[in-house]
């Protein structure tokens, strides 16, 4: 009976104890901050009353946010520099392409101008054949021979290579039915000449498809070939001719 009373007194003593809390001590620990609160009973024993709260997760989270912000700023700056560099390169390439196209167009215009001077009648030039017909038979015979002569070109072509022979006139546009001067598509597109005379058409064929030098103005070769082409035009148009 006395033993039970002693046990009861001990239990009541424990329940009646008043715990005192000492001032918290902040302890810096690697990887986080711990808050340690020491609880003491009246007897001064501290063993079971010790409580430690580790805030490492909060510290890690704060550190992660700081690193994320730093990384984001670095990536943003890198992307900005990359975009700026790409835009600068694109603008530079566009400017270079524009300059190249302008130079190419300028060169093309210069080539066209130079070529048109080579195939266009010189100022004050008077041809020795007639575009109204009535050309000398010997002149027409010489022109017919040259029409089939591939030695006039640098690539083995003759006039007949593109336009046929023996009265089979081929490779002409509908505009060829008109008497000279008239429009020839090649002369217009490649040399800027809206219409040509017979001798100018011969020169265009010499320079373009036959890849040769133009014939000398006033030469027998140019005169005879031009006279022959006048008669070919008449034949192609279904008119009377001297061939």
Residue 67 included in any domain? no
Cα–Cα distance, 237 to 221 (Å, whole number) = 24
CATH number of the domain where residue 202 is located = 1.10.760.10
Residue 37's domain spans which residues? 2-54
Residue 87 included in any domain? no
Cα–Cα distance, 175 to 237 (Å, whole number) = 10
Residue 230 included in any domain? yes
What distance lies between CA 144 and its chain's CA centroid?
50
Q: How many domains does the chain have?
A: 2
Residue 130 included in any domain? no
Residue 89 included in any domain? no
Tens digit of each residue's pLDDT, the chain (243 residues): 555 556 565 655 555 554 343 344 333 334 444 444 444 444 444 444 433 333 344 444 545 565 656 565 656 565 656 565 556 565 656 565 555 555 545 444 444 445 688 999 999 999 999 999 889 999 999 999 999 999 999 999 999 999 998 888 999 999 999 999 999 999 999 999 999 999 999 999 999 999 999 999 999 999 999 999 999 999 999 999 999
Buried b (16+ CB within 10 A) or exposed e, 132-155: eeebeeebbebbbebbeeeebbee
The last residue of a domain, from among 35, 54, 73: 54
Residue 174 included in any domain? yes
Backbone phi, psi, residue 28, to 5°: -80, 130
Residue 35 included in any domain? yes
3-state secondary structure of 89: helix
Q: Which residues fall within 8 angstroms of residue 176, CB to CB, at 6 or more apart? A: 182, 184, 233, 236, 237
The last residue of a domain, from among 54, 69, 88: 54
Residue 243 included in any domain? no
């Amino acid at each position: 009976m006395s033993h039970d009373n002693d046990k009861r007194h001990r239990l009541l003593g424990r329940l009646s104890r008043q715990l005192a809390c000492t001032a918290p001590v902040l302890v810096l620990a690697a990887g986080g901050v711990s808050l340690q609160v020491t609880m003491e009973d009246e007897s001064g024993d501290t063993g079971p009353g010790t409580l430690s709260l580790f805030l490492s997760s909060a510290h890690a989270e704060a550190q992660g946010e700081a690193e994320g912000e730093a990384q984001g700023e670095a990536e943003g700056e890198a992307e900005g520099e990359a975009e700026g560099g790409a835009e600068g390169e694109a603008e530079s390439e566009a400017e270079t392409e524009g300059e190249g196209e302008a130079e190419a167009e300028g060169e093309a215009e210069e080539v066209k101008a130079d070529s048109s001077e080579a195939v266009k009648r010189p100022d004050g030039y008077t041809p020795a054949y007639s575009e109204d017909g009535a050309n000398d038979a010997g002149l027409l015979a010489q022109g017919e021979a040259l029409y089939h002569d591939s030695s006039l070109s640098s690539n083995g072509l003759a006039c007949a290579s593109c336009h046929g022979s023996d009265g089979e006139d081929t490779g002409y546009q509908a505009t060829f039915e008109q008497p000279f001067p008239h429009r020839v598509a090649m002369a217009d597109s490649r040399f800027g000449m809206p219409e040509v005379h017979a001798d100018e058409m011969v020169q265009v064929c010499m320079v373009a498809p036959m890849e040769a030098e133009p014939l000398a103005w006033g030469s027998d070769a140019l005169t005879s070939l031009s006279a022959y082409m006048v008669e070919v035009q008449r034949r192609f148009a279904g008119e009377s001719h001297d061939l």
